[in-house]
């Protein structure tokens, strides 16, 4: 069986779908704004002082774009983690990177420190380092099972740390809880810029190292095919951890996007990273955009609940299919 969809068609299709979804997402909400008015806001026909402009430009659009860019980062990072670590279950969530980032950020929030993102990154990268040390087998290559096991254990310990911080946080506990649940309800344009920059970074990283990723993920001895594994893995893991940490510090922990999207895209387009990375990034953006819209329309549910409810069953199906 080798039926792969055309890459250009998939890229175009996903982009169109993303734009349509974006248009739809910013057109729904508590306040009913007709389509003509939305167009008016976007083209500047309606002045920015108008309420409709404020709703679209300060609330709905940044929220939608932040969600999309976060989804792009999570899915793109998932592809990179899976490729480098030869592990279909690897993603920021299962590797403890997201939890580490959350711990770092919780600590920063509790202590009222500035630069929450930096602490999120330090937390994420430390978690990844710990998982890597524990998870790699006796040889130089990380063993897939050990790695996920290490990710789960490190994730649990860090999760306990977060709970402890929450217990000790005093009046900051509300912010932490809200933030940990994963939400875009407070997203602003600054979040959009950070998210988009991270998404672009993941895209650039994935495309720059696409051939190295292909060789590493194929199961070949990558070094004998000319891949400088240490350098490639270092750049890729550090880069995608950094991007993940930025996203975690923007919107909290959101699982399953980095797991489900790459798997679905791989089935459709094959495992080549020159296709897998851009398509997963678009797919992740689409998924989280729609998941957030769903969360919003159900009365501000945590978006992580929605992604788990959508992504979990999809992943179960994929597992069942690959038996």
Residues of this chain that interact with other proteins (CB under 8 A) are: 1-2, 86, 208-209, 211-212, 214-215, 217-221, 223-228, 266, 270-272
Q: Are 318 and 312 in contact (CB under 8 A)?
A: no
Q: Which is nearer to other proteins, 2 or 43 (CB)?
A: 2
Shortest Å distance, C-beta 224 to other proteins: 4
Task: List the alpha helices (DSSP H) in 136-186.
Answer: 144-168, 173-180
Shortest Å distance, C-beta 34 to other proteins: 48
Q: Which is nearer to other proteins, 255 or 262 (CB)?
A: 262
Q: Which is nearer to other proteins, 16 or 220 (CB)?
A: 220
Q: Which is nearer to other proteins, 45 or 230 (CB)?
A: 230
Strands (E), the chain: none
Query: How does 190-204 read in b/e, with b if 16+ C-beta sit within 10 Å?
Result: ebbebbbebbbbbbe
Residue 11 CB neighbours (<10 A): 15
Shortest Å distance, C-beta 264 to other proteins: 14
Ramachandran assignment for 139, one of left (phi > 0), alpha (psi -120 to 50 degrees), beta (any other): beta
Q: Indicate the SS3 state at residue 142.
A: strand
Q: Are 7 and 275 in contact (CB under 8 A)?
A: yes
Shortest Å distance, C-beta 17 to other proteins: 25
Q: Which is nearer to other proteins, 65 or 147 (CB)?
A: 147
Q: Are 181 and 301 in contact (CB under 8 A)?
A: no
Shortest Å distance, C-beta 217 to other proteins: 5
Q: Are 257 and 78 in contact (CB under 8 A)?
A: yes
Residue 55 has which token pair? 């709703």
Shortest Å distance, C-beta 280 to other proteins: 14
Identify the helix (H) or strand (E) that includes residue 220: none
**Helix, strand and coil in the chain, % to nearest 5:** 75, 0, 25
Q: Which is nearer to other proteins, 206 or 302 (CB)?
A: 206
Shortest Å distance, C-beta 1 to other proteins: 7
Q: Which is nearer to other proteins, 86 or 175 (CB)?
A: 86
């Amino acid at each position: 069986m080798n039926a792969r969809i055309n890459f250009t068609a998939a890229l175009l299709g996903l982009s169109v779908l993303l734009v349509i979804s974006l248009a739809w997402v910013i057109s729904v909400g508590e306040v009913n704004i007709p389509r003509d008015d939305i167009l008016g806001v976007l083209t500047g026909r309606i002045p920015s002082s108008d309420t409709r402009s404020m709703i679209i430009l300060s609330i709905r659009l940044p929220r939608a774009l932040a969600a999309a860019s976060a989804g792009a980062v999570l899915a793109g990072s998932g592809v990179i983690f899976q490729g480098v670590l030869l592990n279909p279950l690897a993603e920021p969530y299962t590797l403890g990177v997201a939890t580490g980032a959350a711990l770092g950020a919780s600590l920063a929030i509790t202590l009222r420190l500035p630069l929450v993102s930096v602490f999120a990154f330090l937390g994420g990268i430390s978690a990844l380092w710990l998982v890597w040390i524990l998870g790699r087998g006796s040889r130089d290559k990380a063993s897939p099972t050990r790695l996920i096991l290490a990710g789960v254990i490190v994730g649990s310990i860090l999760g306990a740390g977060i709970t402890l911080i929450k217990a000790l946080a005093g009046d900051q506990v509300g912010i932490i809880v809200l933030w940990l649940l994963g939400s875009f309800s407070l997203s602003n344009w600054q979040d959009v810029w950070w998210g988009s920059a991270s998404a672009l970074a993941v895209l650039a990283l994935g495309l720059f190292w696409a051939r190295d990723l292909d060789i590493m993920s194929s199961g070949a001895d990558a070094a004998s095919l000319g891949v400088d594994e240490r350098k490639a893995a270092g750049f890729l893991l550090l880069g995608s951890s950094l991007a993940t940490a930025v996203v975690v510090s923007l919107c909290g922990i959101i699982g399953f996007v980095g797991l489900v999207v790459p798997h679905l895209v791989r089935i459709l387009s094959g495992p080549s990273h020159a296709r897998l990375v851009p398509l997963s990034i678009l797919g992740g953006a689409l998924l989280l955009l729609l998941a957030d819209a769903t969360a919003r329309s159900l009365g501000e549910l945590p978006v992580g609940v929605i992604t788990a409810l959508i992504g979990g069953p999809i992943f179960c199906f994929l597992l069942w299919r690959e038996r």
